[in-house]
Amino acid sequence: MTIARLYILHAAEGRAAQMEAALEGLADIVRKAEGSEGVEVLRDLGNEHRFIFIEKWVSEEAHGSALGSFPAGTLDSVQAAADGPPDGAYFDYVKIV
């Protein structure tokens, strides 16, 4: 069963392009992780500083295991561009189309 880990992130003022690049790099790493079923990166059309990062995983456990296998510093560029910590949660798919 596929689960989603969704993060809402806000880029610091003047760092939207930096955040976009950082999330694209992170997405490349997450896509290659064992148990990953894909990643989506979205930017708010009405607020260029607001992003949504959606990871798809085979399970919550797979996500947790993958976090420990990422190279040191994987999140540094995202954190450097962010205006505070992300809001994140796990979600079940009600219907996959």
CA distance 56 to 74: 18
**Is the pTM here over 0.85, yes or no?**
yes
* pLDDT in the model for residue 68: 86
The full DSSP string for 17-47 is HHHHHHHHHHHHHHHHSTTEEEEEEEE-TT-
Residues 6+ apart with CB under 8 A from 46: none
pLDDT values of the chain reduced to their tens digit, one per residue, 97 residues: 899 999 999 999 999 999 999 999 999 999 999 999 999 999 999 999 999 999 999 999 999 999 888 988 999 999 999 999 999 999 998 876 6
The torsion angles phi and psi of 17, rounded to 5 degrees, stand at -65, -40
Instruction: Give bridge partners of residue 49 from the DSSP assignment.
Output: none
Structure tokens at 28: 């490349």
The structural domains of the chain, ordered by start, are 3-92 (3.30.70.100)
